[in-house]
């Protein structure tokens, strides 16, 4: 029921109670006037009833009004009780809720009935629910992305890169990487690949070698001899690098491998190459460049996420949906896992409720205590004022009956 409907109902019952009082007042006035001209004994009974009814109506009107307001605006002691006692009401209400609703013996039966995992697994197994969940999560993430300040995120990424770069030891990183490659014998692949590329280059660039031979030859030597010499060089180079490519036991391979091991050891144990490596690192990790890298990284992450979240069947959404479906099926089929999850939820819910029950009392107390006096009185009057108007109605009728009984007894005794 809305506040507007509650106000209408309260007004209707106030009119009823006040109307009944006015009716009794009219009866009292009428019987008083009639009694002066007509001494009929029944008029006295009616007059006594209406008189006592008015007293009862006024008394209960005062009592009901005193709960929420000052009667007639007069600051009579012990009136406007709700507003004047709002802090005590808040404290008592908070204690009442905690003692009667959040106590261990009251919440334990409900906590023990909690079975969340089964419901969750069945809910997640429905494709429509998966779609709803993914859509809601996507909306939340997109909303969060729009709230992020780009400069703040860029600054954060930049700070982390600078923090990490300050701790980077290039010698150790490079030597560790090379040691790993050598231990895995990956240098053999590199040597094979390089030999093949050189062999192919020599074969496809005969003219360059011939020109170089001719340029460095004597002018008296005939051109065809230079060409023969160049062809011999080309053939020798081709054969040599073919041997390296195909012979895993070739001496040059071992020589290169030994040199690589020596270089790695030297790189790891001596500071010989540190200045050059530091210079290379500084050239790549200048503050301006780090800021540019950070800006590009953040924009790339943001744009990728937005694109994935906007697309109906994006790779990200398909991946999430697949994992949700798989998790739901596994959970639904695994009763032991369900039992573990439910026990964990029950235990933590029970513990958190008991741990924070005092906070609930504080919340209720502070909320009620912080309400404006008129607002608190208005809220409570809208909730219970309608029923309290029956006190006025009953007071009118009961008061009248009591007055009638007293008048009757007095009439027979006199």
Structure tokens at 61: 């009107």
Contact 382, 10 (CB under 8 A): yes
Q: What is the mean pLDDT of residues 259-271?
A: 81
Q: How many residues does the chain have?
A: 414
- Among 80-94, 188-202, 396-410, the minimum mean pLDDT is found in 80-94
- pLDDT tens-digit map of 92-115: 777 877 777 777 777 778 777 778
Contact 46, 397 (CB under 8 A): no
Residue 11 — pLDDT band, cuts 50, 70, 90? confident
The 8 Å CB, 24+ separation contacts for 32-39 are: none
136-150 per-position pLDDT tens digit: 888 888 787 777 656
Over range 172-201, report the average pLDDT. 83
Phi-psi region of 74 (alpha: psi -120 to 50; beta: other; left: phi over 0): beta
pLDDT confidence band for 220 (50 / 70 / 90) = low
Task: Give the distance between the most distant pair of CA atoms in the chain.
Answer: 169
Per-residue pLDDT, averaged over 280-293, amounts to: 65
**pLDDT tens digits for 112-124?**
777 888 888 888 8
Structure confidence by residue, pLDDT tens digits, 24-52: 899 889 888 887 777 667 888 888 888 88
Question: Residue 118 burial by CB count (10 A; 0-12/13-18/19+): exposed, middle or buried?
Answer: middle
**249 DSSP assignment:** T
């Amino acid at each position: 029921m809305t506040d507007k409907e509650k106000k209408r109902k309260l007004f209707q019952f106030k009119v009823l109670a006040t109307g009944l009082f006015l009716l009794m007042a009219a009866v009292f006035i009428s019987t008083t006037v009639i009694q002066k001209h007509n001494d009929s004994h029944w008029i006295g009974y009616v007059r006594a009833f209406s008189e006592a009814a008015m007293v009862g109506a006024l008394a209960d009107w005062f009592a009901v009004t005193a709960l929420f307001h000052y009667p007639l605006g007069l600051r009579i002691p012990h009136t406007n009780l709700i507003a004047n006692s709002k802090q005590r009401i808040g404290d008592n209400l908070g204690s009442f809720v905690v003692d009667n609703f959040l106590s261990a013996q009251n919440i334990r039966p409900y906590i023990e009935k909690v079975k969340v995992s089964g419901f969750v697994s069945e809910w997640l197994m429905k494709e429509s629910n998966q779609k709803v969940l993914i859509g809601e999560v996507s909306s939340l993430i997109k909303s969060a992305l729009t709230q992020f300040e780009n400069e703040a995120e860029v600054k954060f990424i930049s700070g982390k890169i600078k923090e990490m770069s300050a701790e980077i030891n290039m010698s150790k990183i490079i030597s560790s990487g090379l040691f790993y490659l050598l231990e895995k014998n990956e240098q053999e692949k590199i040597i094979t690949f390089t030999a093949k590329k050189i062999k192919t280059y020599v074969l496809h660039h005969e003219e360059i070698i011939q020109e170089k031979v001719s340029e460095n030859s004597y002018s008296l030597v005939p051109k065809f001899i230079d060409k023969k010499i160049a062809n011999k060089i080309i053939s020798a180079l081709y054969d040599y690098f073919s041997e390296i490519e195909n012979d895993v036991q070739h001496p040059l391979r071992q020589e290169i491998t030994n040199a690589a091991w020596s270089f790695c050891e030297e790189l790891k144990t001596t500071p010989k190459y540190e200045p050059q490596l530091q210079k290379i690192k500084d050239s790549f990790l200048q503050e301006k460049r780090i800021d540019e890298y950070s800006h590009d990284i953040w924009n790339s992450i943001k744009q990728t996420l937005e694109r994935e979240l906007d697309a109906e069947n994006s790779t990200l959404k398909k991946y999430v949906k697949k994992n949700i479906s798989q998790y739901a099926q596994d959970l639904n089929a695994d009763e032991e896992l369900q039992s573990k999850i439910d026990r964990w939820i029950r235990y933590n819910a029970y513990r958190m409720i008991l741990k924070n029950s005092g906070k609930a009392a504080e919340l209720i107390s502070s909320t009620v205590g912080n309400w404006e006096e008129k607002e608190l009185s208005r809220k409570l009057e809208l909730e219970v004022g309608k029923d309290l108007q029956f006190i006025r109605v009953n007071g009118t009728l009961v008061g009248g009956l009591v007055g009638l009984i007293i008048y009757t007894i007095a009439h027979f005794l006199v």
